[in-house]
Amino acid sequence: MQVLVIGAGVVGLAVARGASRAGHDVVVAEATSGIGNGVSSRNSEVIHGGMYYPEGSLRAIHCIRGRRLLYDYCAAHGVHHRKCGKLIVATTGAEAEKIAAIQRHGVANGVEGLELIGGNAARSLEPALSCVAAVWSPETGIIDSHGLMLALQGDLEDRGGMIAFDTAIERLEPTAGGWSVHFGGKDAGILEVDAVVNSAGLGAQGLARATAGYPAARVPRRILAKGNYFGYARRPVFSRLIYPAPVDGGLGIHVTLDLAGRMRFGPDVEWIDHEAYEVDPRRADEFYARIRTYWPDLPDGSLVPDYSGIRPKLSGPGEPAADFLIDGPAGHGLPRLVHLFGIESPGLTSSLSIADEVIRQLAE
Ligand SMILES: Cc1cc2nc3c(=O)[nH]c(=O)nc-3n(C[C@H](O)[C@H](O)[C@H](O)COP(=O)(O)OP(=O)(O)OC[C@H]3O[C@@H](n4cnc5c(N)ncnc54)[C@H](O)[C@@H]3O)c2cc1C
């Protein structure tokens, strides 16, 4: 088949690479001038374990399978990563119960190596920590997400696939044998393909609404939850990822590390109604307060506004977290079309596994 993948984020690139490996002719259309200019370059770059998500959910299944595939892929393709492990810390008795439940849940999900440890054991790993208990996740790691996307692009191009940059898709219309795709940009035109994958991240709902024959009622709400990060302007004190007990809409303001060992904090959860990426320096007050619950020695004046990312959510504040939505022919009835909605965290971790599922659905 000739397959058009819309969006050159980590998920679109993983789908494109998978489809080319499956023998399809693949073109990726990307609205901007480069790969990874959307959500994929604005995240924590964590390879997640998979302990938080409801048993049997797509997030649980693809996170765990995707993580294993991702470590293998990184090893085979020289993508920089580090399995540094992570501690989920409890600072009160109530949080201790919450993280114990996460540990049990993770084991039920099939996450390897999760251990509930006491405060002293956690401090022997990370002496700066203040906590009464922790869950140790040895399989969690960090990754150079841009390096991953470059490797996926390389794999795609080695098999004859290509990416058309500055090419925004505007409309999809079914034809007798496939799809007629209208695109904008300076060389605007129409492309005829056999199959289409909508992996447009924050643009997925707009494209679904511009798909002739796709019922408007199937297009889910697009809810935006911004996550702000603050950098730490001093010498790092942790060598593992440190997460508090999760909060509504996110995993709590955590310590993430980049591959150079630098520490940053975030993301928080800021519900917004339009795309905007500035980090308001006044949010630092909340960061100091939250971080000091597990790291009381965080010095004054050490946090600097860094970057933000926007989670493409399908559920709003106070609602149960929605799952990934992979809507293929068996669901909507149109042949050889898959729309991807709500691919928020752990979408980076899950990308290779989501790709396999999308390719399976295209063949239905
Ligand atoms: C704050 C934050 C922290 C996160 N942390 C993690 C983490 O630590 N670990 C993890 O596993 N996941 C994490 N995630 C989730 C992860 O980043 C995403 O799930 C993943 O990057 C989604 O990739 P994507 O390819 O679906 O979307 P994107 O990267 O947004 O790619 C979509 C692409 O489509 C293009 N596009 C849009 N409309 C059109 C159009 N009409 N025509 C052509 N192109 C179009 C866009 O320009 C963009 O390049 C986090 C997300 C956020 C917001």
For the chain (length 364 residues), average pLDDT per consecutive 10?
A: 98 98 97 97 96 96 98 98 97 94 95 97 97 98 98 98 97 96 92 98 98 97 96 94 84 90 94 96 95 96 96 94 97 97 98 98 90
| Backbone φ/ψ region at 160: left (φ over 0), alpha (ψ -120 to 50), beta | left
> Using CA atoms, how far apart are residues 27 and 45, in angstroms rounded to an integer?
26
Question: Quick check: CB of 200 below 6 Å from ligand 1?
Answer: yes
The alpha carbon of 320 is separated from its chain's Cα centroid by a whole number of angstroms, namely 18
User: Which numbered atom of ligand 1 lies nearest the CA of 229?
Assistant: 1
**pLDDT value, residue 247:** 76
Count the helix, strand and coil residues of the chain and give each as a percent rounded to the nearest 5. Answer: 35, 25, 40
Helix 58-77 with 347-362: angle, nearest 10 deg: 100
Q: What angle (nearest 5°) sits at the alpha carbon of residue 45, between those of residues 39 and 46?
A: 125
- For 207-224, the DSSP string reads HHHTBTTS-GGGSPP-EE
Question: Quick check: CB of 255 below 6 Å from ligand 1?
Answer: no
Q: Tell me, in angstroms, the distance from the centre of ligand 1 to residue 163's CA.
A: 17
Q: Tell me, in angstroms, the distance from the centre of ligand 1 to residue 342's CA.
A: 10
**pLDDT value, residue 364:** 82
Each residue of 23-38: b (16+ CB within 10 Å) or e? Answer: ebbbbbbbbeeebbbb
**Burial grade of 2 (CB within 10 A; 0-12, 13-18, 19 or more):** middle
Token representation of residue 16: 């494109």
> Using CA atoms, how far apart are residues 324 and 115, in angstroms rounded to an integer?
27
Strand partners, 164: 29
Q: Tell me, in angstroms, the distance from the centre of ligand 1 to residue 130's CA.
A: 34
Cα atoms found within 13 Å of the Cα of residue 130, Cβ hemisphere only: 11
DSSP letter (8 states) at residue 62: H
Question: Quick check: CB of 9 below 6 Å from ligand 1?
Answer: yes
Cβ within 8 Å of residue 343, ≥6 positions away: 11, 39, 199, 201, 204, 312, 324, 350, 354
**pLDDT value, residue 249:** 66
**pLDDT value, residue 132:** 97
How are beta strands 270-272 and 263-266 bridged, if at all? unpaired
Site of tokens 């994958």: 197
Question: Quick check: CB of 129 below 6 Å from ligand 1?
Answer: no
**pLDDT value, residue 282:** 96
Distance between start and end Cα atoms, the chain = 13
**What is the maximum span of the chain, computed from C-alpha positions, in angstroms?**
66
* Length of the chain, in residues: 364
